């Protein structure tokens, strides 16, 4: 409708040039992303409103949009930022290490992350439930490559008899499922467990259960 005129907003906003962000910019972006994580992780993209995020960030809506021009931009930013951290523990699996030990470390680390930032886990869950409209590419490229690599390592361990014979991909899925479950289904767990969830030691107890089941199932057994 308007090809003759430069797009609006070209003289404003924060994402314009490539200038270094000022201190207040960095701070506010941080605040916004934190707030957005909180909101998006509960209601998903479509169910969340910019108003909610602005309220969480204690910021006026237009000011929030001064930092991220579109709701999508905020969403993408939170998602990407969290994605960066998310794969670190998996990537750290060392083919030269002891199989069971490596897996134990991976699971433990993952549980720690999930306990520390359950909202991040829920954000992913929501995105994937919605069909991964934004994260789709990432899943099919970066994630797939990493998983395939690590699956290869696990397969090798199995071949060498260092692990019970298990399909490595499914093993990885199971670790994801069990570790993230404590964040994603937190409400359900609280409903069932009641106050026990907040007692000290609950996290350790959960970790113990996950490790016991997964690792015991993996340890090569004497032929019986």
Query: What part of residues 8-27 is at the interface with DNA (CB under 7 A)?
Result: 8-9, 12, 14, 19, 21-22, 24-25
The runs of H, that is alpha helices, within 87-117 are 88-91, 99-116
Alpha carbon distance 61, 55 (integer Å) = 8
Among the candidate windows 56-64, 81-89, 142-150, 152-160, which touches DNA by CB under 7 A?
56-64
Name the helix (H) or strand (E) containing 8. Answer: none
| Residue closer to DNA, measured from CB, 53 or 172 | 53
**Does residue 31 interact with its own copies by CB under 8 A?**
no
Helices (H) and strands (E) in the chain, counts: 12, 0
Question: How many Å from the N-terminal Cα to the C-terminal Cα in the chain?
Answer: 76
- Residue 10 burial (CB count, 10 A): 9
Distance in Å, CB of 123 to DNA, minimum: 16
Q: State the Cα torsion 48-51-54-60 to the nearest 10°.
A: 160
Q: Which structure tokens are listed for 137?
A: 């590419």
CA dist., res. 192 & res. 196, Å (int): 9
Q: Which does 21 bind (CB under 5 to 8 A by kind): DNA, its own copies, none?
A: DNA
Residue 28 interface partner, choices its own copies, DNA, none, CB cut-off 5-8 Å depending on type: DNA
Cα separations (Å) of 149 from 36, 86, 143, 160?
33, 16, 10, 17
- Does 43 bind its own copies (CB under 8 A)? Our answer is yes
Binding-site partner at residue 25 among its own copies, DNA, none, CB < 5 to 8 Å by type = DNA
Nearest distance, CB of residue 133 and its own copies, angstroms: 5
Which of DNA, its own copies, none lies near 20, with the C-beta cut-off 5 to 8 A by kind? none
Longest Cα–Cα distance of the chain, Å, equals 79
The site string for its own copies over 80-119 (x = CB under 8 A, - otherwise) reads: ----------------------------------------
Q: Which is nearer to its own copies, 139 or 156 (CB)?
A: 139
- Contact residues for DNA, defined by CB under 7 A: 6, 8-9, 12, 14, 19, 21-22, 24-25, 28, 48-51, 59-63, 65-67, 69-72
């Amino acid at each position: 409708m308007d090809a003759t005129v430069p797009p609006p907003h070209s003289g404003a906003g924060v994402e314009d040039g490539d200038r270094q962000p000022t201190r207040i910019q960095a701070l506010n972006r941080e605040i916004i992303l934190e707030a957005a994580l909180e909101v998006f992780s509960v209601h998903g993209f479509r169910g969340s409103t910019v108003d909610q995020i602005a309220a969480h960030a204690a910021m006026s809506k237009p000011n929030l949009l001064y930092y991220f021009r579109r709701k999508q931009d905020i969403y993408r930013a939170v998602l990407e930022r969290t994605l960066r951290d998310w794969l670190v523990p998996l990537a750290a699996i060392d083919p030269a290490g002891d199989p069971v030990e490596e897996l134990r470390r991976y699971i433990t680390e993952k549980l720690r992350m999930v306990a520390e930032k359950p909202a991040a886990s829920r954000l992913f869950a929501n995105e994937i439930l919605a069909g991964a409209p934004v994260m789709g590419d990432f899943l099919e490229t970066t994630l797939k490559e990493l998983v395939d690599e690590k699956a290869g390592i696990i397969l090798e361990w199995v071949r060498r008899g260092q692990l019970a014979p298990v399909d490595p991909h499914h093993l990885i899925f199971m670790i994801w499922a069990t570790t993230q479950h404590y964040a994603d289904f937190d409400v359900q767990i609280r409903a069932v467990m009641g106050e026990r969830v907040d007692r000290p030691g609950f996290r350790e107890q959960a970790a113990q259960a996950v490790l016991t089941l997964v690792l015991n199932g993996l340890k090569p057994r004497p032929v019986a």
